[in-house]
């Protein structure tokens, strides 16, 4: 692979040798160590092969010795490419300028992305980034390292638990993790838990307070279910907001009138189908023309998607 690259860098040519002693010339080239390859015998007095550009002067001296002539057919490699570029100055300058522009643009900042966090925190991060000089069009070499930027962000934006900074090519990404504060518990004043309706207790769970009833007890509206006063002695008693769940079975008496005769509608099972192809809210019937010959009908619609060469049609 290295030799192939060196051949293209130094340049090589394809030549045709004509003469009576072409085989002797070829042997002399091999004895002199000339770089030749892909040798072809075109006819009795004519040979073709690739020759390194640096060995052309030596080949000229051998041609005189063996009374042969050399014709250049192909020219490849760096020296010939440079010669062509010198002739096309405008094109060469354009190519060089293009690569220089690409190199310069790849060293600049072209975007800032903020992920996570509330709009308020995200705005603070964007402002802090501007203060550090991270904005579109800034050269990356003038900015501090990513680790330093992350430390500065943590110091400037105090409402965020963590701010991650990542550089992806020409874009800087900021990932925000905000403080997750627990919800404040609702403050309740001391109170009792009383019944609202007549019921038979079948399940209860008391979290705070003292239970005054038990399962299977019958209670009236206003009866005390859970007391907010805890403690056996009056001196050690204290009042707390009761918290718990008491479930009971409640019964009602209702008067309902039911007619002796009732009429209702059922489906006979007879049906007919119609098919349409819909495109841009335009329905084209393809089967089942006309309306059903029934006095009363109930319609059901089923929609399926049909793909035809990338076009989507609705089959109804």
Give the CATH number, domain containing residue 6: 3.30.70.340
Structure tokens at 85: 């570029």
172 and 201 part of one domain? no
75 and 12 part of one domain? yes
pLDDT digit string, tens, across residues 99-113: 888 888 888 888 888
167 and 206 part of one domain? no
Q: Please tell me the distance from the alpha carbon of residue 170 to that of residue 99, in angstroms, as a whole number.
A: 17
- Contact between residue 48 and residue 18 where contact means Cβ atoms under 8 Å apart: no
The count of domains in the chain is 4
pTM over 0.75: no
Residue 183 maps to a domain: no
32 and 75 part of one domain? yes
- Contact between residue 163 and residue 154 where contact means Cβ atoms under 8 Å apart: yes
Cα within 13 Å of Cα(75), Cβ side: 11
Position 308 pLDDT exceeds 70 = no
- Contact between residue 119 and residue 94 where contact means Cβ atoms under 8 Å apart: no
pLDDT digit string, tens, across residues 159-179: 888 888 888 888 888 888 877
Residue 138 maps to a domain: yes
- Average pLDDT of the residues of the chain: 81
Give me the numbers of helices (H) and strands (E) for the chain, helices first please.
7, 19
- Structural domain for 62, as ranges: 2-81
């Amino acid at each position: 692979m290295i030799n192939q690259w060196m051949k293209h860098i130094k340049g090589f040519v394809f030549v045709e040798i004509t003469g009576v002693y072409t085989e002797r010339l070829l042997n002399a080239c091999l004895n002199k160590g000339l770089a030749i390859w892909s040798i072809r015998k075109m006819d009795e007095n004519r040979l073709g092969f690739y020759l390194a550009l640096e060995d052309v002067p030596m080949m000229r001296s051998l041609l005189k010795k063996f009374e042969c002539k050399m014709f250049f057919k192909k020219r490849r490699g760096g020296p010939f490419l440079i010669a062509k570029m010198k002739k096309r100055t405008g094109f060469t300058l354009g190519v060089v300028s293009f690569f220089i522009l690409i190199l310069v643009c790849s060293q600049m900042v072209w975007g800032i992305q903020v992920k996570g966090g509330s709009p308020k925190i995200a705005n603070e991060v964007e402002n802090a980034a501007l203060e550090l000089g991270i904005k579109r069009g800034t050269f990356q070499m003038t900015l501090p390292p990513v680790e330093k930027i992350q430390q500065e962000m943590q110091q400037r934006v105090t409402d965020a638990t963590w701010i991650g900074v990542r550089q992806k090519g020409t874009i800087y990404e900021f990932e925000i993790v905000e403080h997750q504060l627990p919800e404040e518990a609702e403050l309740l004043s001391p109170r009792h838990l009383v019944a609202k309706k007549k019921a038979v207790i079948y399940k209860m769970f008391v979290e705070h307070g003292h239970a005054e009833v038990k399962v299977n007890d019958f209670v009236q509206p206003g009866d005390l279910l859970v007391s907010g006063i805890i403690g056996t002695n009056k001196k050690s008693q204290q009042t707390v907001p009761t918290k718990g769940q008491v479930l009971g079975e409640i019964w009602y008496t209702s008067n309902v009138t039911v007619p002796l005769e009732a009429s209702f509608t059922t489906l006979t099972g007879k049906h007919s189908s119609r098919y349409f192809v819909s495109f841009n809210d335009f329905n084209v019937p393809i089967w089942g023309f006309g309306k059903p010959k029934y006095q009363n009908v109930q319609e059901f619609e089923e929609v399926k998607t049909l793909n035809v060469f990338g076009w989507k049609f609705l089959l109804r």
